């Protein structure tokens, strides 16, 4: 069956579901989004890209950005990362301080907030202008120079970011942040404010489906081994404390954000991005998971 046909079926089935979730509203910029938005973009290795609904509209990617900053950090400093952040699922909500305290300021993995803050610190030690470096990298792998930060979102996150400030100060107290806490948080909130469409996201995640290479040019961006490892971390840690459930229902490595986006990858086959702003209780897009579960059921195969 063609991917487009499958997507159309998914749309028919999913849009009649009652979305039980709620739009994230801890900052007004997220709360004001139209809750009925729904978009899908699927990019196959051996086929054209196919789309559904609001696939070309930009939204706040939030935690999905953690994958980009990790990739960039691995690209420039791979060996130095893994003594400062782990690769184990946290078993706790995405912002818990308990484990971080118990484990002496070494975050469980790079996809919980504390881990992403340490990765931000690593990038800040390496780059003169880490905001610019990250933006250039994201533009390159998604082939879209119009991608940008949303300064209002970044500013608003910062004004409400006491819990992240708590995390960053705790890590600093253990010596696992080397730069100024306020500067790190500023970079971190910028990174989360990136705005991209489903098409942008799916295209950029093709490097994880394509052994680290850009699909268009076969340019090697990261080693195949690195792509494999990022997929492994997305599989076990990509969905906060719902990672097991996502693995169980969907069976693909992926990453979600509180803006309602989810990107997933079937290595060797395709990457796919979904957007629907209402979140379930664990902070992941309610309809997004429904759509992706149908995708692996209808295509008849997942990584398992």
- Nearer Cβ to its own copies (38/246): 246
Cα 143 to Cα 135, 146, 147, 191, 214, distances in angstroms: 12, 9, 9, 18, 10
Instruction: Tell me, residue by residue from 70 to 109, as one string, x for binding to its own copies by CB under 8 A and - for no binding.
Output: ----------------xxxxxxx---xxxx-xx-----xx
CA distances from 99 to 80, 89, 115 (A): 22, 11, 12
Q: Assess 179 for contact with its own copies (CB under 8 A).
A: no
Query: In this complex, which beta carbon is closest to its own copies, that of residue 170 or of residue 215?
Result: 170
Closest CB 242 distance from its own copies, rounded Å: 7
Angle (CA) 187-131-178 rounded to 5° is 50
Q: Are 122 and 80 in contact (CB under 8 A)?
A: yes
- Geometric angle at alpha carbon 15, from 11 and 18, rounded to 5°: 150
Contact code string over 142-171 relative to its own copies, x by CB under 8 A = --------------------xx-xxxxxx-
Interface with its own copies, residue 172, by CB under 8 A? yes
Burial class (CB in 10 A: 0-12, 13-18, 19+), 39: buried
Closest-CA residue to 190 (of 178, 182, 198): 182
* Near its own copies in 243-302, by CB under 8 A: 243-245, 247-248, 251, 253, 267, 297, 302
Helix, strand, or coil (residue 125)? helix
Instruction: Compare residues 19 and 247 and give the one whose CB is closer to its own copies.
Output: 247
Sequence-separated (6 or more) residues with CB below 8 Å from residue 109: 85, 86, 87, 88, 89, 90, 115, 233, 236, 237
Size of the site for its own copies (CB under 8 A): 50
Q: Binding mask 109-128 vs its own copies (x if CB under 8 A, - otherwise)?
A: x-------------------
Binding residues for substrate: 63, 113, 157, 164, 188, 240, 258
Extract the annotated binding site.
63, 113, 157, 164, 188, 240, 258
Q: Which residues would be at the binding site for its own copies (CB under 8 A)?
A: 86-92, 96-99, 101-102, 108-109, 162-163, 165-170, 172-173, 181, 225, 227-229, 231-233, 235-237, 241-245, 247-248, 251, 253, 267, 297, 302-304
């Amino acid at each position: 069956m063609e991917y487009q046909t499958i997507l159309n079926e998914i749309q028919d089935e999913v849009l009649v579901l009652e979305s039980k979730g709620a739009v994230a509203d801890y900052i007004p910029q997220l709360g004001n989004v139209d809750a009925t938005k729904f978009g899908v973009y699927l990019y196959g290795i051996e086929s054209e890209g196919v789309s559904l609904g609001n696939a070309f509209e930009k939204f706040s990617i939030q935690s999905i950005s953690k994958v980009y900053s990790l990739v960039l950090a691995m690209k420039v400093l791979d060996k130095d990362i893994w003594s400062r952040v782990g690769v184990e699922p946290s078993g706790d909500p995405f912002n818990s301080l308990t484990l971080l305290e118990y484990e002496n300021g070494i975050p469980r993995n790079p996809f919980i907030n504390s881990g992403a803050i340490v990765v931000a610190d690593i990038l800040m030690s390496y780059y003169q202008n880490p905001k610019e470096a990250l933006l250039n990298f994201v533009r390159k792998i998604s082939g879209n120079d119009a991608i940008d930060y949303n300064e209002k979102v970044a500013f608003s996150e910062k004004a409400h970011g006491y819990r992240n400030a708590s995390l960053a100060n705790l890590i600093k107290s253990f010596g696992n942040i080397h730069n100024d806490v306020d500067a790190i948080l500023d970079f971190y909130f910028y990174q989360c404010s990136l705005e991209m469409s489903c098409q942008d996201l799916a295209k950029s995640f093709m490097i994880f489906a394509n052994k680290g290479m850009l699909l268009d040019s076969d340019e090697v961006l990261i080693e195949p081994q690195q792509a494999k490892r990022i997929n492994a971390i997305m599989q076990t840690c990509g969905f906060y404390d719902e990672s097991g459930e996502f693995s169980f229902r969907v069976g693909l490595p992926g990453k979600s954000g509180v803006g309602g986006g989810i990107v997933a990858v079937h290595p060797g086959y395709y990457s796919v991005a979904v957007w629907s702003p209402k979140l379930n209780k664990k902070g992941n897009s309610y309809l997004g998971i429904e759509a992706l579960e149908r995708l692996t059921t209808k295509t008849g195969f997942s990584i398992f």
